[in-house]
Structure 1
């Protein structure tokens, strides 16, 4: 289960890097799925698709410290630290991320995605 869901996370991040995120998340999110984003907003599936259509692409990303919380054979939570880069001069976006998946037939669907920003330890206080 961990490898399946981690593969989906990588496919999602890859779509954010190549500009196809709106299509990817429009397909993978459940009908009532939401994303709770680092900037403090909650987007339903339609808002996610709309926001990703014109969003600047990420240059690269990393997933680390991944953990799986299995709720049942058909529901699980993937928790990890995500690090993503846009412009070379911008600092990395670093957040603790949680993705709640539910199986719909043979497919995993994203019901909830949540980001908690990790403060930059080098930022001035």
Structure 2
């Protein structure tokens, strides 16, 4: 499996875990010093994992497209893409799109999330 394929698959798993409230997955994959930037502000792992675990996220479906991987070094890379999200908001299904970038670092042969940013379009 190529690094590009591995990281694209990992990014899809991050969205799956987010939809399903799989905080254990986030606990394993997100590095201690990781940051997320979104319309809600800047958050670290201490905020991210409990929020995912609570599963208060209204996401029903997330489709990723235009995935591109840029390998920065042997052990670091970024993934950029567009996500189309179907969410249950105010008891109605709504769709919106975000442009996103995630940065990963490989440590002990495992890819770890270091940074994630998304901008709603």
Q: What TM-score, normalized to structure 2?
A: 0.88
Which blocks of at least 5 consecutive residues in structure 1 are unaligned? 119-125
Runs of 4+ that moved beyond 6 A = none
Contact in 2 for aligned 1:26/1:46 (Cα 8 Å): no
Q: How many equivalent residue pairs?
A: 116
Q: SS in structure 2 opposite 1:59?
A: strand
Which blocks of at least 5 consecutive residues in structure 2 are unaligned? none
Distance apart, 1:25 and its partner CA: 1.5
Q: What TM-score, normalized to structure 1?
A: 0.85
Q: SS in structure 1 opposite 2:59?
A: coil
After TM superposition, the structure 1 = structure 2 runs for residues 1-125 of structure 1, keeping only pairs within 5 Å, are 1-20=3-22, 22-39=23-40, 41-54=41-54, 55-87=56-88, 89-118=92-121
Contact in 2 for aligned 1:76/1:101 (Cα 8 Å): yes
Contact in 2 for aligned 1:84/1:93 (Cα 8 Å): yes
Q: Give the CA RMSD over aligned residues.
A: 1.5
